[in-house]
Amino acid sequence: MSDPFKQASGNMKVLTADENAEGRLDAWMTAQLGEEFSRSRVKVLIKEGNVSSKGKVVADPQKKVRPGDIFEINLPEPEDPTPKGEDIPLDILYEDDDLIVISKPSGLVVHPAAGNWTGTLVNALIHHCGESLSGIGGVRRPGIVHRLDKDTTGVMVVAKNDVAHRHLSQQFADHGRTTPLERAYQAIVWGHPRSLKGMIDAPLGRDTGDRTRRAVKRPGTADADEAITHYEVLERFCEKPDATSLASLVECHLETGRTHQIRVHMAHIGHPLLGDTVYGAGFKTKANLLPEVAKKAVNGFGRQALHAYMLQFEHPRTGEVMRFEVPLPDDLIALIEALRTVDV
């Protein structure tokens, strides 16, 4: 029997199913890759979009393997050494022996990953907290129980010991259905939703064409995760005689916490975030409709207009309900003020 495992360019491997191949993709791949990869690790690789066949991403670990199938596998870089502490300033809102609450600035990546092995929030936390974070939640993500995108600002909580990590992780996994957990964001979006208050119930999963993006999925599909966002329009900018607006300030409350959830959901209903080059690139030319001052402010805003302004949770040791709010950062305030100057 020929060896089904073939080296391709870079970290790409190719597996070809022989005449005896059968069963689920994750189980079959695990058997081919050997002891270096556990089945759980292979399953994650598949769900994260690292496996393709005939040029299309295969994100379903349960896909049936048939003789002759050819799969290309993008194997991530080998694990780097444990992240080291770096003296990166932290805006600390609260801290005790169990947890630390911070206000995350724009541009700060939460944990080390490809392209950002240093200069992350994890590096800053290791420097600030010392050895207490070691081993909590994994080597790359010590203490991390939730995350914000690199360019999203706002409040985050980090665990400082195993008990706190387990308790907080359970609250985030529960999405506040049976716990006091609550998360609220403010965003500036193009246009304004037809209903000034509403709910977006649209499952999310990996974009089949780009593994770094998320996309709305049909309910019941293999990689579709429940995703629910509640929104309310707080202010409309550049209102026109026909009752439309060029942009709006909205508040979003998460009933679930999926990657890029607010960004994808708002784009899904036709109102992507200002500055979002991933999910709102097609709306960039709308800035040309603005007077020069507002146009300059919109074009110069170098990130998605999203801020996690409120986080509420139960303290893992005392049971106290803790609530933290962080006002809008200066760049978002400046953008709002520029939009308010527009007289249509």
Cα 29 to Cα 20, 36, 193, 298: the distances in Å are: 14, 12, 45, 47
Q: Output the CA torsion sign for 135, 49, 225, 234.
A: positive
Q: How far apart are CA 19 and CA 343, in angstroms?
A: 70
Same domain, residue pair 202 and 336 = yes
Predicted confidence (pLDDT) per residue in 220-279, tens digit: 888 899 999 999 999 999 877 666 788 999 999 999 999 999 999 999 999 999 999 999
**Where is average pLDDT lowest: 5-19, 21-35, 82-96, 320-334?**
5-19
Give the pLDDT confidence score for residue 117 in this predicted structure: 78
Exactly one of 26, 69, 149, 207 is catalytic; which is it? Answer: 149
pLDDT tens digit string along 173-228? 998 889 999 999 999 999 999 899 999 999 999 888 787 899 999 988 888 999 99
Please report, for the domain that includes residue 214, its CATH number: 3.30.2350.10
pLDDT tens for 149-177 read 999 999 999 999 989 999 999 999 998 88
Residues 129 and 149 occupy one common structural domain: yes
pLDDT at 108 over 80: yes
Confidence band for 1, pLDDT divided at 50, 70 and 90: very low
User: Would 189 be classed as within a structural domain?
Assistant: yes
pLDDT value at position 55? 87
Q: Let me know whether 70 and 28 are in one domain.
A: yes
Whether residue 128 is predicted with pLDDT greater than 90 in this model: the reply is yes
Q: What is the pLDDT of residue 103?
A: 98
Any catalytic annotation for residue 149? yes
pLDDT of residue 10: 47
- In terms of pLDDT, which residue wins out, 118 or 8? 118
Q: Rounded CA gap, 15 and 13, in Å?
A: 7
Digit-coded pLDDT (tens) for 277-313 = 999 988 878 888 788 888 888 889 989 999 999 999 9
Angle at 57 between CA 55 and CA 59, to 5 degrees: 155
Q: What distance in Å separates the CA atoms of residue 269 and residue 250, rounded to the nearest whole number?
A: 13
Model pLDDT, residue 264: 97
Q: What does 45-104 look like in DSSP terms, one character per residue?
A: HHHTT-EEETTEE---TTPBP-TT-EEEEEPPPPPPPPPPP------EEEE-SSEEEEEE
Residue numbers of the domain that contains 115: 92-174
pTM: 0.76
Contact of 116 with 269, CB cutoff 8 Å: no
Count of the separate structural domains present in the chain: 3
Average pLDDT of the residues of the chain: 88
pLDDT of residue 79: 53
d(C-alpha 344, C-alpha 97), whole Å: 53
Structure tokens at 280: 């709102």
DSSP-based three-state secondary structure for 132: helix
**Token digits for 100?**
């630390």
Q: Decide if pLDDT at 78 tops 60.
A: no
265 and 159, same domain (yes or no) = no
Count, residues in the chain: 344
Do both 11 and 69 map to the same domain?
Answer: yes
Q: Is 108 part of any domain? A: yes
Question: What local confidence, expressed as pLDDT, does residue 266 receive?
Answer: 98
Same-domain status, 166 and 263: no
Helix-then-strand count for the chain, H and E: 7, 16
44 with 146, same domain: the answer is: no
